[in-house]
Chains A and B, each alone.
Chain A
């Protein structure tokens, strides 16, 4: 790890100011960034810790839905979101291991947008709003491909607002080594329709599956998507599964999420 300066502001405003410095990098739970720095694959000059900002932490119900501070850990979401949005809490409780869940944050995960991460599926599948120090971004506009988001330089996720669906579930098929999603589906049934978001499968990162959404909006059951097929073009192919396998799992995991939705 290269040397760096470390600042820990206590307000979003101070964090934004610190982020304007040369070579500044926001640090949330550090579950991706710190290993990357230890491998010397990243060498930011200044780390701006977001974990000392109390206004960016916590879970609360508001008018627009469930609001989760950007620096809220997965463990906190798993515990505190359960009574409002059990599917989201269950997803948070399946991320990594206890050490990861006690450090990693929702803002950090969404800012990184790992193509196999869990939270992007929840945000896109719920139609969440990503709130930053500058603006509010709809999930549909936020995810722009593997490790790519709508965030601009220095922009910080302060809050994520999840509308609460009637029913939802996350079905995750784990990659056996990392236990990230090899392919996972987040399905959410709202009054006005169903959203299906898939993570782990595509080279373009998290995506919605419109055919399944249409079919499930008419009939919220696994049978409704039985006849659909998923093309393997653009799917991730690696040591753990071919593109065809992942395409197959998209449907299997979607069906399992539908069956588990409550």
Chain B
């Protein structure tokens, strides 16, 4: 019988009750007495020199309290970058200034130029129309390869060029890799684009700044995936506010997908404005603003090559990528195409030699940073597309060629040539499971049925690996991270036995309030209804690093386990005292402490009450109370992996691709809540399929966003995706965290784009279009039709 609680149970998400009944409390639901409204005047050109800003008319406009421009922030710091990459010559990256409000130049459409604060939002917007900003337009820097040529227009005048860094990994392997290519029996190459995406969480960004004059206390309510990180970055680097005087609250947050990790200028602007004006200031992004101010994702242009020996063993991989940074460095932008991308280039394969070159480039576009998967989808896409191409060129079955080169179960822990050590995995098992659940054997019959109705059917496979829970802190520090990557938890047991768990992780759709409670419930043996999970407020939880990179259960969950173990250890001491037994004889089972081999016991509440009403208590040896904090810093990444299979039908007349089946066989290690895991995979798949077939953030030659609204930016809708077949029964538990879990949030978005594209290419080849070796994402009907009719 399936469990109805604890680890492994598909407990329904407790947070959904408030989300589905409109009772969630999002940042925009926070309204403080005396609140003013902020509107940002933004650049409508991609690149230009600010000749003058005349704020007089705006200041005289009804209801306007103040107009801020760059000069109001000149004494403060700029928006910091949280990761410094060192290039292949040992030089640190070029790091441009990132003023809160544009200073001297505007560098992308949407770059904030002024902040108008008024009594109502409409008054602020009226004032914006009255304001005149004189901008001398400059040529927009857009194409990355042109941008790094000598003499190219510079996005940042004070940098030597538009090249942020030229990174080589592993630089020492470069010669050996080139040698392997020179000696290879076969080489295969592919040039491709990983299309730029807009994250588009359902809730746009919101920031409310508040200031208490008598105490000097600042509060920022913000739509963030990591309030502590925002407190650190904004307090220490931008506004010079000590942490003790700055509280950051990220209440219910309606999705992030990475775009709410970063510290944004708007947060600093409203926090400072609230102090200057001594009134709360609220800013709520419109959807149009989100398109031109939320950090965007992907945008790589890549050439990848594979060298194989005569038996088709992978000998070497060489890649050459241009990665778009946009106009400024967003918080973690430099790390995405490097440490989250180059380190994954081995995939699931035992390729002995790998060299990854990445040139990060500034352009006059919205900054680019992590988006669901972050670097790992880019690595997986190029590798899995290339292997498919290799199989086709060599006349090999794409499954067999992958299997031949898979790292085998007995080879773990496996040191890849790109620094990381995979702790565990079984890629043949996930591949077997995929072939089973997708009825791969029955494909030919289904292809015939499609043909009979005039459709071209194809089957595409991809096998991915990802690295989650990026860590340990001392290693990432060496790699350039300016932050630690541990997680925190405080477990507060209340006098009558209920438990409040304060986590440094943040839930914005992941269901932590349910799954974290399941973990504690399992460990102590009390009902999950007695356990509350509290997050999102720097004033009550220990310094944590937040939620991204599929880290929360593996790192945040492990911190909770660690703190809960401390609780259990102390509770056992109390129980030993109460039961007049040796501590070593105390057993905890189903919420009850008993003395081994006897019928003597005391229940959970008996112990917790004793801790807070310590009348009968070993006060000489033990402090009263039952509250513990733990910080968990993992010893390694976790390495989820899986096999994805996509089946498509292509309409040869229109080029339209329909996904008729999608199967995912993932190895996430141990599973706490299977239903939540399935949901995470479903969401990831929708986003991956969106990238593969629909989504495209495109700029015109002047740097104007062509897809600046949902009228042109194609988000997948329910009828664009199939019913998924998701399986996570292949389990190789993570060897180095206490739960044996690996993380599941990004997998769907990582593994699916190559599976979809491989399926379309397969369909076209089966129909005789053997000249088509690649189509760049998104595979819109127009692009597929154009390829078929080239």
A interface residues, Cβ below 8 angstroms from B: 1-3, 39-40, 173, 176-178, 182, 238-242, 245, 248-249, 252
Contacts and interface: CB of A to CB of B under 8 A. Distances in A.
A239 B786 contact: no
B387 to A, nearest CB: 29
29 contacts: A2-B122, A3-B122, A39-B288, A40-B125, A40-B129, A173-B654, A173-B656, A176-B694, A176-B714, A176-B720, A176-B780, A176-B781, A177-B710, A177-B711, A177-B714, A178-B711, A178-B712, A182-B781, A238-B706, A239-B706, A239-B712, A240-B712, A240-B782, A241-B782, A245-B781, A245-B782, A245-B786, A248-B785, A252-B653
Interface in B610-657: 653-654, 656
B129 A239 contact: no
A9 to B, nearest CB: 27
A2 B711 CA distance: 23
A238 B720 CA distance: 21
Contacts of A173: 654, 656, 781
Most buried by A among B656, B706, B711, B782: B782
Contacts of B288: 39
Contacts of A176: 693-694, 714, 720, 780-781
A242 B713 contact: no
Nearest to A183: B654
A240 to B, nearest CB: 6
A181 to B, nearest CB: 13
Interface string B587-613: 000000000000000000000000000
B775 interface: no
B528 interface: no
Contacts of A240: 712, 780, 782
B711 A245 contact: no
A interface secondary structure, majority: loop
Nearest to B782: A241
A236 B129 CA distance: 32
Contacts of B789: 248
Contacts of B714: 176-177
A252 B654 contact: yes
A141 to B, nearest CB: 30
Contacts of B786: 242, 245
A197 B654 CA distance: 19
Given A249-B654, A252-B653, A241 B781 contact: yes
B707 interface: yes
Nearest to A253: B654
| Closest 8 pairs (CB-CB, A-B) | A177-B714, A241-B782, A176-B714, A178-B711, A245-B782, A252-B653, A177-B712, A239-B706
A1 B780 contact: no
B654 A177 contact: no
Contacts of B656: 173
Most buried by B among A40, A182, A245, A249: A245
Interface in B709-738: 710-715, 720
| B interface bracket (residues with beta carbon within 8 Å of A) | 20 to 34
A261 B684 CA distance: 40
Nearest to A255: B653
Contacts of B217: none
B65 interface: no
A240 B654 CA distance: 13
Interface in B733-790: 780-782, 785-786, 789
A39 B698 CA distance: 21
Contacts of A249: 654
Contact of A239 (B125, B126, B696, B785): B696
Contacts of B707: 177, 239
Contacts of A242: 782, 786
A161 B129 CA distance: 44
Most buried by B among A39, A176, A177: A176
Nearest to B128: A40
A204 B273 CA distance: 49
Contacts of A1: 122
A179 B184 CA distance: 49
A177 B713 contact: yes
A248 B698 CA distance: 24
A256 to B, nearest CB: 9
A245 B696 contact: no
A3 to B, nearest CB: 8
Contacts of B711: 177-178
Contacts of B125: 40
B712 A245 contact: no
A177 B126 CA distance: 31
Interface in B344-392: none
Contacts of A40: 125, 129
A249 B786 CA distance: 12
Nearest to B693: A176
B177 to A, nearest CB: 38
Nearest to B712: A177
Contacts of B126: 2
Contacts of B720: 176
A32 to B, nearest CB: 11
B715 A177 contact: yes
A39 to B, nearest CB: 7
A143 B603 CA distance: 81
A176 B690 CA distance: 11
A245 B785 CA distance: 8
Contacts of A241: 780-782
Given A3-B122, A238-B706, A245-B781, 4 more contacts: A176-B694, A176-B714, A177-B694, A239-B706
